[in-house]
Amino acid sequence: MTSKAQINEVGLFVGGSNYIGDIGPEYYINPNNIMGGVIYKWNLNPRIALRGTFTLTNVSSDDADATNIARYNRGMRFTNSIKELALGVEFNYFEYNLDDYRKTHTPYLLVEFAAFNYNVVSRETAPYQYEYESKTAYAIPFGIGYKTKLVYDFAIALEIRARYTFEDDIDYNNNEINSLRFGNPDSNDWYILTGISLVYSFGRPPCYANPN
């Protein structure tokens, strides 16, 4: 008799997002907007899974919430929307297999590559009046999580994903427009996704099996 691990996982995740940059507070984990999306995983073996996610969220920040007195006195704020597609690898600290009661939970490390779409200011049409355009950029995401079996073929996970972007304009910073020239030009923006996922596992690999 053999026990075969399930190879596919599909599900939903919900939680919060926050931005780290030149506006507002500088807390690394401070969810202040709702985020959500879908997730798919393909388990190569009990230790490694390939995964893809699609995420929708807003990011926003306000100098009124800053602990830095210079930011507080400046009084800037912004809101932007983000659509993100990410592909990556999940490394389980312990072997993970919902069909084996000894292996139904584990912490994990996540490394990804992400493309995200957001809005930037294209030009100033009048004092403090702007036109916007869509922009696609890239981020190097990494994260940590903990997952455990919930019931039957369902599992739940708590996860924190950090996105280091190669951009400094998620907050509409624009060095070509005087009213939007602010902050540190040598420091790019981040956004953080914190939440829980619920996934359903199905399918069995043709070759992978654990003998008794």
Model pLDDT for residues 135-151, shown as the tens digit of each residue: 999 999 999 999 999 99
User: How many CB atoms neighbour CB 43 within 10 A?
Assistant: 23
CA distances from 3 to 6, 96, 100, 207 (A): 10, 13, 8, 11
* Predicted pLDDT of residue 65: 95
CA distances from 73 to 70, 140, 147 (A): 5, 33, 43
User: How confident is the model over 47-101, as pLDDT tens digits?
Assistant: 999 999 999 999 999 999 999 999 999 999 999 999 999 999 999 999 998 888 8
Looking at 3.40.50.720, 2.40.160.20, 2.60.40.10, 2.60.120.260, the CATH number of the domain 2-211 comes to 2.40.160.20
**Confidence band for 205, pLDDT divided at 50, 70 and 90:** low
Count of residues for the chain? 212
Please tell me the pTM assigned to this model. 0.89
How far apart (Å, rounded) are the C-alpha atoms in residues 145 and 153?
Answer: 19
Domain parsing of the chain, residue ranges: 2-211
Question: Is residue 118 over pLDDT 50?
Answer: yes
Beta pairing partners, 28: none
Q: Are 202 and 43 in contact (CB under 8 A)?
A: no
* Predicted pLDDT of residue 122: 92
